[in-house]
Structure 1
Amino acid sequence: MDFDQDLNACAELVERGDPDRFRAAMAAPVAARVTLFPLYAFNVEISRAPWVTEEPLIAEMRLQWWADALAEIEGGGVVRRHEVVTPLAHVLDAEGARVLAAAVEARRADAAREDVADEAALDGYLADTGGALLWGAARALGSRQEARARAVGLRLARANWCLGAAELQRRGRRPFPRMEAAAVGALVARWQDDRADLDEAPSKPQRLAELCAWRAGAVLKAAAGDPASVMEGRIGGSEVGKRVSLALRAAGIGRVA
């Protein structure tokens, strides 16, 4: 299987498993997609690894497989043949592999079926998953705006956490430290107001990496205004609204969420 086939496999995986990031990648120039699709496919794989089995030990083994793959990329030697790992090795250097390793480590809490202990622990998890992924993507595209990338990634992860809270409950997880609607609303309102490290104007590669966060602000606003919708899985927005919002962001119009 050649690189183009691997890249197509990554794109198909992202399309099935992460439609929002798939749309964002497709809104980017073709050259950027070569970088984004392997990174986003990696994220799909580690995100679902803890959930494809009810056995925590097997879930842990699946995550360790990805940790070992990143270690091979970091080491610069022979890297295992895999439709995601192989193209990922083409877009990551050693430091990029170390950035993404934090996301794998954070997912071990999912494998262990751990509930959120407190707000600080939840934010740490979201920073190590969403923040690390967006910084890894931005860095691979040529950005050096780490603080901004991690802040936007955290903001997106917070929005996605709201979108996925009802499913987490269905799977037996407690997504928030306090599950009362008022407490959830207060937390999300703080998330919505937090714009630390977002004042710096994004460079071109940074802006491309941030396309995936095009609707984070709208999701957080909706969740803060109606926290019951978070717990009941009623937030998300219309498909038409999503496409229009992304088109405007790709054209450089509108504020980063």
Structure 2
Amino acid sequence: MSLDACAALVQRGDPDRFLAVMAAPLAARSRLLPLYALNLEVARAPWVSKEPMIAEMRLQWWRDVVAEPAPRAHEVARPLHELIQQAALPLDVLDRMIEARRWDIYRDPFEDQAAMDAYLEDTGAGLMWLSARALGASATAEPAVRAYGWAAALAQYLRAIPELAARGRVPLLDGRPEAVAQLAVRGLIRLNAARKATATVPRAIRPALLAGWQAEGLMKQASRDPAAVGDGRLQLSDFARRGRLLWQATTGLF
């Protein structure tokens, strides 16, 4: 029942990842859903209250869930704990993924590009690596999977720019169109390099990469039309979205 709760949570709160997990083989879904549900819980924790202390407490609660040896009676925490034990997930990666969300609580901009890169590394790249580990990936696959996850995280972050700005955050170090286009090109370069590297990973762990199925299309659009990022027009057509997902799911190519 807790796994069903994870699925319902992801379907409501993260429909793109839900489509990705539903395109994965049935055996992979039970491994991916608790991680995607955790990601959703910690991603929204900074926004549930205007009081920073409350948001900090929510994130700390999840850090405690990861660190404690016994499961908590919670619809996401329990299946997550089981997955951590079964797949021997690295606790430090989980902790950094949660801790990184502290940036979302406050209104301070990133200190520099390295800080923004680290945020994407700990959140999106970390989540994709955890997903791959949950499906049995060995340590040799980590650089390629993380690179692919970083690029996918950047694409989704660019989509979130208008919402972050509306909530009083300073999401970009340089919001000029040429700087946004350059950032998107940088993401495409990293995505293409990661794609070559992930071509050698076992097919069993490739469902973990499905969550990045929109990355290339979104960043190509941002590089051509950077104003679409700030205007909230960074979006693939429904045909392109579903077609790309179906192609990746059936071919195993990314």
- What TM-score do you get using the length of structure 2 for normalisation? 0.93
1:88 is matched by which residue type in structure 2?
A: L
Give SS of 1:142's match.
Answer: coil
Identity of aligned residues (%): 46
Q: 1:59 deviation in Å?
A: 0.7
Is residue 2:4 matched to residue 1:8? Answer: yes
Pairing partner for 1:100 from 91, 94, 98: 94
Q: Could you list the per-position Cα deviations for residues 48-104 of structure 1 after superposition, in whole angstroms to 9, with x for gaps in the alignment?
A: 0001111111111110000000001xxxx3221110010011111354332211111
Retained in 2: the 8 A contact 1:127–1:150?
yes
Looking at structure 2, the residues matched to 196 and 204 of structure 1 have their Cα atoms a distance apart, in angstroms, of 18
Q: 1:206 deviation in Å?
A: 2.6
Is residue 2:248 matched to residue 1:249? Answer: yes
Retained in 2: the 8 A contact 1:219–1:236?
yes
Q: Which runs of 5+ in 1 are unaligned?
A: none
- What TM-score do you get using the length of structure 1 for normalisation? 0.92
Is residue 2:74 matched to residue 1:82? Answer: yes
Pairing partner for 1:71 from 67, 71, 77: 67
- Deviates most, 202-211 or 157-166: 202-211
1:121-132 matches, cutoff 5 A: 121-132=115-126
| 2:212 alignment partner in structure 1 | 213
Looking at structure 2, the residues matched to 173 and 9 of structure 1 have their Cα atoms a distance apart, in angstroms, of 31
Looking at structure 1, the residues matched to 119 and 108 of structure 2 have their Cα atoms a distance apart, in angstroms, of 11
1:121-160 matches, cutoff 5 A: 121-144=115-138, 145-160=141-156
2:81 is matched by which residue type in structure 1?
A: A
Across the aligned residues of Structure 1 and Structure 2, the Cα RMSD in angstroms comes to: 1.4
Looking at structure 1, the residues matched to 189 and 73 of structure 2 have their Cα atoms a distance apart, in angstroms, of 44
Retained in 2: the 8 A contact 1:56–1:113?
no
1:32 is matched by which residue type in structure 2?
A: A
Is residue 2:90 matched to residue 1:91? Answer: no
Q: Which runs of 5+ in 2 are unaligned?
A: none
1:82 is matched by which residue type in structure 2?
A: H
Retained in 2: the 8 A contact 1:192–1:217?
yes
| 1:53 alignment partner in structure 2 | 49
